[in-house]
Amino acid sequence: MKKTIITTLALFFGFYFLPLSAANNQETCFNLKVVADQANIRLKPDIGSTIISQVPQGTILESTGKEGEWYLIQIKTTEDQFLSGYVHESLVLRVEPVEKQQEVEEKIEKAEKIPPIQPPPVYSIPKKTTETYFALNISGGGNYVIGGDLNKGAKGFIQFYREELGFEEKGEPDPLHLSYIFGGELNIPLSPKLLLGIGVDYFFGKKESLVEYQKSSSAVTFTTQPKIQAFPLRVALSYYPLPFLFFKGGIDYYFAKCSYFYRIQEDDYWKEWQGKASAQGLGIQGGLGIEWNLSSSLVFIIEANGRYARIQGFKGKDHSRDSEGLDYTEEGTLYLYQATSSNENSYYQLFIREKIPAEAWVANAREASIDFTGLSLKLGFRIKF
């Protein structure tokens, strides 16, 4: 008798609490609506996790729970299979609860006039499981270049003619180092962390110096103005060890130009030389950058680069004239050489000459090299498409 009573009570409480337990374990389902331009569905609740699908704005997703800032959802593949994934809470908005299929079928049986519930749209899983994109970079900033023989020529010109005219050393021309730089680059994804960049930069710089001398009643003014201009075409690779940090390296092919301007004026007499030349050559560059996502398609970039490029073989034209009617043009190569003054001191001279200088007062003549080696700092934007 006692055994029968215990068995009856066990059955009673077991059947009584079983539905309550099942109800507590049943997952609560609810709808999520995509409010961003595009939502990434990731394999795990982590921003660095693999992307298994992407859905556009307005898509309704079914969620069965939440882990921290991530909603657990299910997506349907083209093979009618369901995969679980996670979407970040900033990309979606929670809407009305999702009704279970059994409840929907019961309502349809009770009221046949109720239209059938449309299933959520089906999106196939992309073949790529990582986020890649094409992009266009537009940037600008400042550039520092060494200058090389261009600065030697400007300094040597003043030193040579100052001594020939009998003036004591007083001032020197300012060297050309700073320039503006602007550029653009097309980024092609090779892998999630590696981009191929094809681009071009343009930089331009000039520096005018005015050095004045006064001796008794005579005043002499020296003017120099070296100038550089370049269009380096670039092929580079960018590697991302972190989502916001990249390292960059590549090869540049330069279409370079340079020019010089020298002028001496003593009272009413003046004489000036102006030369322009161009050349082409190779260089290398490398650097690093930091970026911030402003939106799904716009990124702000700060990039610092170092470059090495010494270009030779400049060809061009020199035009010299003076206040007494001299007007002479000479085409040839840009040369650097040492000119010996009447006091047997040597000073660098940079001129375009038809042939390599070989006069008695000339020594160590060679083709000039313009040194575009330097550093640049650029700010810009990357437009994804």
Question: For 165-198, how does the pLDDT look when each residue is reduced to its tens digit (9 = 90+)?
Answer: 887 767 789 999 999 999 999 999 999 999 999 9
In sign, the C-alpha dihedral spanning 282, 288, 290, 291 is: positive
Q: Which of 10-24, 208-222, 273-287, 300-314 has the lowest mean pLDDT?
A: 10-24
What's residue 54's pLDDT? 86
- What pLDDT, on a 0 to 100 scale, did the predictor assign at position 298? 95
pLDDT of residue 113: 54
- The whole-number pLDDT of residue 166 equals 81
pLDDT of 150 reads 96
> With 70 as the cut, is the pLDDT of residue 122 above it?
no
Percent of the chain whose pLDDT exceeds 90: 59
For each of the domains in the chain, give its residue range(s) and CATH number, in order of start.
Answer: 28-131 (2.30.30.40), 135-384 (2.40.160)
Residue 111: which pLDDT band, with cuts at 50, 70 and 90?
Answer: low
More confident residue, 15 or 219: 219
Q: How confident is the model at residue 5 (pLDDT cuts 50, 70, 90)?
A: very low
Q: How is residue 247 annotated by DSSP? A: E
pLDDT at site 279 = 98
**Greater confidence, 118 or 271?**
271
Please say whether the beta carbons of 188 and 134 come within 8 A: yes
Residue 94 confidence class, pLDDT cut points 50, 70, 90 = confident
pLDDT at 9 > cutoff 50: no
Mean pLDDT of 245-274: 96
**Is pLDDT larger for residue 107 or for residue 70?**
70
Higher per-residue pLDDT: 29 or 331: 331
- pLDDT-based confidence at residue 116 (cuts at 50, 70, 90): low
13 pLDDT higher than 60: no
Half-sphere exposure of 78 (CA within 13 A, CB side): 5
pLDDT over 80 at 8, yes or no: no
Q: How many CB atoms lie within 10 A of CB 26?
A: 9
Burial of 244 (0-12, 13-18, 19+ CB in 10 A): exposed
Residue type, position 267, single letter: D
| Least confident stretch, 67-76, 232-241, 259-268 | 67-76
User: How many Å apart are CA 354 and CA 380, to the nearest integer?
Assistant: 44
Average pLDDT over residues 236-258: 97
Q: Is the dihedral of CA 370, 374, 380, 384 positive or negative?
A: positive
What's the pLDDT score for residue 289?
Answer: 97
Listed residue (278, 224, 225) closest to 255, CA to CA:
278
Structural contact between residues 271 and 323, judged by C-beta atoms closer than 8 angstroms: yes
Is the pLDDT confidence value at 120 over 90?
A: no
User: Looking at residue 66, what is its pLDDT?
Assistant: 87
Q: Specify the pLDDT at position 293.
A: 94
Q: In the predicted model, is pLDDT for residue 127 greater than 50?
A: no
Q: In what order do the strands lie in the sheet with 82-88?
A: 51-56, 38-42, 82-88, 70-76, 60-67, 30-34, 92-94
pLDDT tens readout for residues 36-77: 888 898 988 988 888 888 888 888 888 888 888 998 988 776
What pLDDT does 324 receive? 93
